[in-house]
Amino acid sequence: MTEAKFNPGQLKKARLMRGYTMADLANMTSVSRQSISKYEMGNSTPRGENLFKLASALKFPISFFSKPNSEVPMGAVFFRSQAASTNKLRNMQTIRLDFAAEIVGYISRFIKLPKLNIPTPLEKPVAAITEEDIRQMANSLRTLWALGNGPISDLTNAMEANGIVVAETSMHSNKMDAVSTWANGRPLVALTDNDESAARRRFNLAHELGHILLHSAVENIFELDSTKYKKGLERQAHFFASSLLLPDESFSDFLLSTDISGFLEAKKYWNVSLSALIFKANTLHLLNENQYLYLQKKISRNHWRKTEPFDDQQVKEHPEIFKSALMMLLEAGIISKSQIISDLGFPEEELEAIFGVSFKNSGKISKKPVLKILK
């Protein structure tokens, strides 16, 4: 039997996904930093005990390190909370995004996913995109998806039904909310497990939709300096999210009071955060400067920057497409969980996060034996 060939790129990918430096991994495994560097450069191959130590520390199946490099073509990757995130965090989530893209390709071998149904994305340079462009794009999307002019009941479901893939990941960070890209010819959004509120998750999804529809002309976000990024792409995606979730006319008609009680009522109706509601009202010039400053101070005094009233009453949306696809394949007997683990070679917790089901004991018999009393 031929020994599987070690792929140095997979070791680096696993290390970066865990957020470790070479020195971190060396300290965890007693494998020298120099050796790890040689392994990742392809100048040497870990064998036996060293490979086992690396796989155990990284919590990856050994089979992962012999997988060929992913051939899924991906576009520019956009990060929500770019300013607060670090290169380490971006690497950690980009690799998870790559895993999700590979899983999309995998399940597409067996199941036909919903056809992509979105307005034609803009092809303008970031500096040329106007607020009117953004409003028109948000209105076009609402019209195309028949969302009406009121609150969107389930944005995640609407995205999935129209061919956009949304994935949960095992990434835990309060400094990063979501990332998005194009992969396998369709948009892909990966969410971070950071205990965000239902309202914040909804806004994050709408924000990523903004990148997908407005910024297809951007090939690499790192070609933009931080000022251009923050004032350009992020502001535009933010404005799109606000325009999509809170249509100008219907929001203005609903907001009968501009004191805090009026915005709390609006939050219950629109399922959007207080901060986003106040931002929208200010954008529409429904607030004067003193009112806006008062409301911002009120939010700060009440410690509502992270946790707001009614957060515990609103249900967080979760993607369903991966779980539905898996259940369909399992029920049809086309594939088993153990085969998925073997084919993909990803860590178990990542598969569980993306598919939304447990992969533990996947090789064991799940049915109880049927017993009968002898007569």
Q: Look at residue 276 and tell me whether its pLDDT is greater than 80.
A: yes
Tell me what pLDDT residue 257 has. Answer: 92
Tell me what pLDDT residue 44 has. Answer: 94
Confidence of residue 88 (pLDDT cuts 50, 70, 90): confident
CA gap 221, 236 in Å, rounded: 14
263 versus 126: the higher-pLDDT residue is 263
3-state SS string over the chain? CCCCCCCHHHHHHHHHHHCCCHHHHHHHHCCCHHHHHHHHHCCCCCCHHHHHHHHHHHCCCHHHHHCCCCCCCECCCEECCCCCCCHHHHHHHHHHHHHHHHHHHHHCCCCCCCCCCCCCCCCCCHHHCCHHHHHHHHHHHHHHCCCCCCCCCCHHHHHHHCCCEEEECCCCCCCCCEEEEEECCEEEEEECCCCCCHHHHHHHHHHHHHHHHHCCCCCCHHHCCHHHHHHHHHHHHHHHHHHHHCCHHHHHHHCCCCCHHHHHHHHHHHCCCHHHHHHHHHHCCCCCHHHHHHHHHHHHHCCCCCCCCCHHHCCCCCCCHHHHHHHHHHHCCCCCHHHHHHHHCCCHHHHHHHHCCCCCCCCCCCCCCCCCCCC
Residues in the chain: 375
349 versus 370: the higher-pLDDT residue is 349
Same domain, 228 and 261: yes
Tell me what pLDDT residue 75 has. Answer: 74
Confidence of residue 90 (pLDDT cuts 50, 70, 90): confident
Tell me what pLDDT residue 368 has. Answer: 46
- CATH number, domain at 216? 1.10.10.2910
Confidence of residue 359 (pLDDT cuts 50, 70, 90): confident
Same domain, 83 and 40: no
- CATH number, domain at 17? 1.10.260.40
- Residue 249 is encoded by which pair of tokens? 């006319």
DSSP class of 142? H
pTM confidence score: 0.88
Tell me what pLDDT residue 355 has. Answer: 93
Same domain, 58 and 172: no
In a domain, 358, yes or no: no
- Residue 126 is encoded by which pair of tokens? 């970031």
Q: Look at residue 369 and tell me whether its pLDDT is greater than 70.
A: no
In a domain, 71, yes or no: no
Same domain, 50 and 184: no
Taking only the tens place, the pLDDT of each residue in 165-224 is: 999 988 776 677 788 999 888 999 998 877 789 999 999 999 999 999 999 888 777 666
Same domain, 221 and 253: yes
Confidence of residue 365 (pLDDT cuts 50, 70, 90): very low
Name the most confidently modeled range: 193-202, 216-225, 275-284, 351-360.
275-284
Q: Contact, 260 vs 295, CB < 8 A?
A: yes
Mean pLDDT of the chain: 88
Same domain, 42 and 97: no
Helix ranges, 215-273 (H): 226-228, 235-245, 248-254, 260-270
Tell me what pLDDT residue 80 has. Answer: 63
322 versus 178: the higher-pLDDT residue is 322
In a domain, 84, yes or no: yes
Taking only the tens place, the pLDDT of each residue in 159-169 is: 999 999 999 98
Tell me what pLDDT residue 225 has. Answer: 63
Tell me what pLDDT residue 45 has. Answer: 94
Find the domain containing 181 and state its range.
78-313
Burial of 139 (0-12, 13-18, 19+ CB in 10 A): middle
Tell me what pLDDT residue 227 has. Answer: 66
- Residue 308 is encoded by which pair of tokens? 């707001």
Confidence of residue 41 (pLDDT cuts 50, 70, 90): very high
149 versus 370: the higher-pLDDT residue is 149
Tell me what pLDDT residue 261 has. Answer: 94
Confidence of residue 363 (pLDDT cuts 50, 70, 90): very low
CA gap 295, 291 in Å, rounded: 6
Same domain, 108 and 136: yes
H or E element, residue 274: helix 274-283
Q: Contact, 61 vs 173, CB < 8 A?
A: no
In a domain, 21, yes or no: yes
CA gap 9, 305 in Å, rounded: 41
Over residues 132-154, the mean pLDDT reads 97
Residues of the chain above pLDDT 70, percent: 90
Count how many domains the chain has: 2
> Under the phi-then-psi rule, with left for phi > 0, alpha for psi from -120 to 50, and beta for the rest, what region is 19?
left
